[in-house]
Amino acid sequence: MIEWTDDGVILGVRPHGEGSGVLNLMTREHGRHAGLARGVASVKSRGIYQPGNCVQATWKARLADQLGTYVCEPTRDHAAVLLDDPLKLAGLSAACAVAETALPEREPHPQVYDGLIALLEMMEIPELGDAWIAGYVRWEIGVLADLGYGLDLDSCAATGTNDDLAYVSPRSGRAVSLSAGEPYRDKLLALPRFLLPGASGLGAGDPDDLFRGLALTGFFLERHVFATHHRAPPPARNRFVERFAQVTTVSGGGLNA
């Protein structure tokens, strides 16, 4: 018998049989890991097994390559806290869908896990306003980096300096300065101000800038992660971007927005 216990974030649940479900967790030490959980459809448990909620999970199986079973204890109910904020709930669903779609099964990605926890906690701070979306973009950049597709936004690909960085090359994922990129501006992605070197939260309250950030990570996730595995971007992420566009006044977010 193989058994382990780990902290995890619920990414999704697929019904299986009468009252049971295949539970997909993002765990810190065991990566994205599935298992059969019993009673997930009961009135008592339905609220626990929602995407974005945190649990302590014990997984058991006779053999390592089997589906195995989960027994979970809830530790943090993020979904209920965000229930009255449709945009944040859409962001939570998007993050869970990206993790479920992009990350290989049973491969540990502790930094992605820690970043997801930090993002979920950030979403619960009302004083931040929409700045949590900047955190979401940074988390997706972390996903790309952990999968081997890191963006280099610290200096210009053409000049090597970090002055007046304004664009990102869609080919290399490297930053490009305003002057070096001007002749090719229609072919470059816009670099949000909150991703400039040392910027921390700069620009995080600007809807245009946040939208550019979502366009930037969405472009590289689709090209390097989803398309590579012949998958479409998760519908939950598309809905999140669409909802953000609906509730804010933005001028766009594509190439050179």
For residue range 110-156, list pLDDT tens digits in order.
999 999 999 999 999 998 888 999 999 999 999 999 999 999 999 99
CATH 2.40.50.140 assigned to domain 2-77? The reply is yes
CA distances from 9 to 41, 108, 204, 231, 244 (A): 18, 13, 26, 23, 24
For residue 109, what are the contacts with CB-CB under 8 A and spacing of at least 6? 31, 32, 103, 146
pLDDT per residue over 188-218, tens digit each?
999 999 999 887 655 566 899 999 999 999 9
Are 120 and 92 in contact, with CB atoms under 8 Å apart?
Answer: yes
Q: Provide the token pair at 61.
A: 């199986």
Please report, to the nearest 10 degrees, the dihedral formed by the alpha carbons of residues 179, 184, 189, 193 taken in order.
Answer: 10
Its pTM stands at 0.93
82-247: in CATH 3.90.1150.10: no
**Distance, CA of 1 to chain centre:** 33
77 phi and psi angles, rounded to 5 deg? -100, 75
Q: Which residues pair with 33 in a beta bridge?
A: 25
| Boundaries of every domain in the chain | 2-77, 82-247
What is the chain's mean pLDDT, rounded?
Answer: 92
Higher pLDDT, 47 or 13: 13
pLDDT score, position 257: 42
Nearest to 47 by CA among 18, 14, 81, 24: 81
Euclidean distance between the first and the last CA atom of the chain, given in angstroms as a whole number: 55
Helices and strands of the chain, counted as H and E runs: 7, 8
**What tens digit of pLDDT does each residue of 44-70 get?**
887 899 999 999 999 999 999 999 999
